[in-house]
Structure 1
Amino acid sequence: MKYHGLYVNGVGSWYPKPFPVDQAVSEGHYEAELQERTGMVSVAIAGEDDSQPEMAVRAGRQALGQSGLADEEFGLLLHATAGFNGLDGWNVGSYLQHHLIGGNGTAFEIRQLSNGAVGSIELAAGFLQGGTDRNAALITASDRFEAPVWDRWHMHPGLIFGDGASALVLSRRPGFAKLVSSVTVAHPELEGMQRGSLPFTPNSDPSQHPVRIIDRTKDFAARELPLSRVVELMDAALVRTATAACAEAGIRPTDAEHVIMPNFGVEMVKRENLDPLGIDLERTPWRWALEVGHVGATDQFGALDQLAHEGRLEPGQRVLMTGIGGGFNWTSVVLEIVDRPVPTPR
C-alpha cells in the first residue's frame, strides 16, 4: 500500500546492559563454533528490574519525547510482543496506554511474533487514514527471553535471543521520516514450523520448557514439508514483500541507503535476508545487531533508533525495513528521511 501524509515523528529504544558472548562461551553457556558462525559479540540481558512492561515504557517515553506530540493527539497504542508480558490474566496494552499516552485512545496487544512491530505500522496507518479525529498512534514492542521457558543461547543456531524494547510514533503531523509504502505477505501453511506435532494444552506445559523451536521445525519438515521447500517459500516471500514495497516507493531494494532486517547472526542474515535481495551487509546496522541479539519484535525500531543516534539518517535517504514473524508473515516498509532526527537521551 502506498501512503500519503503519514510520518514517523519519534523513535526510541531501551536495551539492558550487554553481556559479552566471549564470557558466555568461557562459562559454558554457549559454544565457540556457534559464535564463529553468528559473529555475535554480546547480547542484551535484562536485570531483575527490567520487566517487559517497564522496558516498553522506557522506550515509549523516548519516542514520545522525540515526537513532541501531546497525549491528546493519540488515538491508538499497539503493543507487540512474542512472549510473556509479566502477568497472566492482565492487559499490558492498557498499562502502556495509562503510563504513556495519558489514557487516551485505545490499546491492543499484537501477537505476530517477530513481525509484530513492523506489521503494526500497517494497522496504525489504516487507523490514521480511516477518518479518526486523532492525529497519532504509538507502537511499542518488548520481549524478554528468560529461563526456564527460554534458552536464549540455543533456540536457534543462527542467532542469540536478547531482551529489550523499542517504540515508534506514527502520525499525520510532519516528522523526520515519511511513510511511503508497505506490503505484507503471509504463508500460514508454515505455522507448524513453531508447533511441530505437539498437542494444545490448557496452560503452559513446563515439560515443554525450554521451548525447542528447532525441534518443532525438524518435526514439521519430516512430516509436512521438506526444509528445501520451506526455504524456497520463505525466500520468495521475502523478495516479494520487499520488492513490492520498494516498487510502490519507486525504487529497487538495492537503492535503499539503509536496510533493516531482524537481528540475526551474520551467516543467517546474509543467507536468509540479504543475499536473496542482492544487498550488502554494510547497508545494515549489523554491528549493533551483533551487540544486542534478536529481541523479538523490537529489532527494527531499535535499529532505526540506533541509526538516528549515530547520525546516519540524512534527508533524501530511503530506509527499507522488513519484519519476519513466525506463522509465517513478512512486512516490508519504505521510509523516506525528510529531516535529520534529533534523538532523545537514552
Structure 2
Amino acid sequence: MTRYARITGTGSYLPERRLTNDDLAAQLAERGIETSNEWIVERTGIQARHFADAHACSSDLALEASRKAIEAAGITAQDIDLIIVATSTPDMVFPSTACILQNKLGANGCPAFDVQAVCSGFVYALTVADSMIRSGAAQRALVVGAEVFSRILNFNDRTTCVLFGDGAGAVVLEASEQPGILACDLHADGKHVDILCVPGHVSGGEVLGSPLLVMDGQAVFKMAVGVLEKAAHAVLAKAGKTEADIDWLVPHQANIRIMQSTARKLKLSMDKVIVTVDQHGNTSAASIPLALDHGVRSGQIQPGQTVMLEGVGGGFTWGAVLLNM
C-alpha cells in the first residue's frame, strides 16, 4: 500500500490590530516619511495589514491558528505526533517556537522543530512533514507558518515597512491511502543572501549589525518571477500534470504584480488565484497557509480539487507543492 499525506484541516489567525494604508501613512508622516494609499496599492496591491500587540509572540499567533486547524481536522492536540513551525521571527533564540507552541497546545512528547526558509518556509515545512508521513515516521503532523514581521521593520524605509504584516496559518497533515500531496520541489541559492535579509545577530548580550529588514526590491521581484515559474513547471512534471489540471494557485502573498505574472506564465486566470495580499500584506511564512485557509473557509477551494502552493523568500529560497484537497 502506498502511503500518502493529506491535508485534513486548515486554520488561520490575524491579530486584532488592523492598519489600513492611510493609518500607516499617518504614522509615517509623524516620522517625516511620505507615502500614500495610492502609492502602496499601485506598487503592491496591499490595502491593509495586521500588527500584533507588543506582548504577542509568533507562538501565540500559531496557537490560535493551530487550534482552528485541529478542530477542522476533527482531532485533538494529543493526536498530533509531529509539529513543524516555519518562522523567521521566533519567540526567542532557542528553544524553537515549535516547542513553545507544543507546550501551549498540550501536545507534549512528539518531535517539534522550526524551519527557517523565510517566505518559502511553509512550503519547506510541508515538504518535510510529507516526507516524514510517507516514511512512516509520523501519522498526524501540524504544520504552521507564523510571523510577527512588524518587529523587524525599519519604519524609516517606506519601500519595505509598508509591505509586511503579522499572522499565522496552520494545516493538519495526516497519513492516507488516498493521494494528497502529489509532488514537491524545493530550491535555494545562497549567493543572493544580500537581496533580502536581516543582517544582525546576538553576541555578548548585544545586537551586532542591523536587526531590521533590508531588501533590494527590484532584484527580489526579478528573481521571484523567474524561479516561481520554474518551480511550478517542475512540480507539475513530477506529478505528471499540466497547467490545465490546476484548480487553484495559492502563491506567497508578497506583491500582486508577482502573482499576476506567475498566473500568466501558468496560463491561469486570476479567478483561479487565491488573493489575500490586499488585506494581509506580506506575512512571510504565514502567507500561504493564511491564503489556503481563506480559500477553504470561503468555499472557493473544494475537496478533490488540485491546488498548487508556491513560495519564494530570502536565502534566496523557493519551492512549490502540488496537492489534492
Q: TM-score with structure 1 length normalisation? A: 0.80
Q: What is the CA-CA distance between 1:56 and the residue it aligns to?
A: 0.6
- Partner secondary structure for residue 49 of structure 2: strand
In the aligned structure 2, how far is the partner of 1:142 from the partner of 1:318?
25
| Pairing 1:62–2:62 present | no
Q: What is the CA-CA distance between 1:158 and the residue it aligns to?
A: 10
Q: Which has the higher strand share?
A: 2
User: In the alignment, which residue of structure 1 is the partner of 2:268?
Assistant: 279
Of 120, 125, 131, which residue of structure 2 is paired with 1:126? 131
Contact persistence 1:274–1:281 (CA under 8 A): yes
Trace 1:168-247 onto structure 2 (pairs within 5 A). 168-173=171-176, 178-194=180-196, 202=203, 205=207, 208-214=210-216, 227=219, 234-247=224-237
- Partner secondary structure for residue 150 of structure 2: coil
Q: What is the CA-CA distance between 1:206 and the residue it aligns to?
A: 6.8
| Pairing 1:317–2:305 present | yes
Q: Share of identical aligned residues, percent? A: 21
Computed over aligned residues only, the root mean square deviation of the Cα atoms, in angstroms, reads 3.0
Of 136, 139, 144, which residue of structure 1 is paired with 2:143? 139
In the aligned structure 1, how far is the partner of 2:136 from the partner of 2:305?
30
In the aligned structure 2, how far is the partner of 1:16 from the partner of 1:233?
31
Q: What is the CA-CA distance between 1:323 and the residue it aligns to?
A: 1.3
Q: Deviations 1:157-180 (Å, cap 9, x if unpaired)?
A: 5961000111111111479x8222
In the aligned structure 2, how far is the partner of 1:159 from the partner of 1:282?
26
Q: For 2:269, give the aligned amino acid.
A: D
In the aligned structure 1, how far is the partner of 2:212 from the partner of 2:223?
28
User: In the alignment, which residue of structure 1 is the partner of 2:14?
Assistant: 15
Q: TM-score with structure 2 length normalisation? A: 0.85
- Partner secondary structure for residue 298 of structure 1: helix
User: In the alignment, which residue of structure 2 is the partner of 1:164?
Assistant: 167
User: In the alignment, which residue of structure 2 is the partner of 1:340?
Assistant: none
- Partner secondary structure for residue 205 of structure 1: strand
Q: What is the CA-CA distance between 1:107 and the residue it aligns to?
A: 0.5
Distance change (3 Å), C-alpha of 1:38 and 1:130: same
| Pairing 1:260–2:250 present | yes
Q: What is the CA-CA distance between 1:325 and the residue it aligns to?
A: 2.4
User: In the alignment, which residue of structure 1 is the partner of 2:35?
Assistant: 31
Q: What is the CA-CA distance between 1:200 and the residue it aligns to?
A: 7.1
- Note the residue ranges of structure 2 that are not aligned, 5 or more in a row: none
- Partner secondary structure for residue 81 of structure 2: strand
Contact persistence 1:158–1:264 (CA under 8 A): no
Q: Deviations 1:103-159 (Å, cap 9, x if unpaired)?
A: 131111111111111111111111112233x41111112111235x31369475596
Contact persistence 2:81–2:111 (CA under 8 A): yes
- Partner secondary structure for residue 254 of structure 2: coil
Q: Deviations 1:24-80 (Å, cap 9, x if unpaired)?
A: 234436612233322322111112453211111111111111112344543211111
Contact persistence 1:153–1:161 (CA under 8 A): no
Contact persistence 1:81–1:142 (CA under 8 A): yes
Q: For 1:317, give the aligned amino acid.
A: Q
| Pairing 1:42–2:48 present | yes
**Paired residues, number:** 316
Q: For 2:24, give the aligned amino acid.
A: A
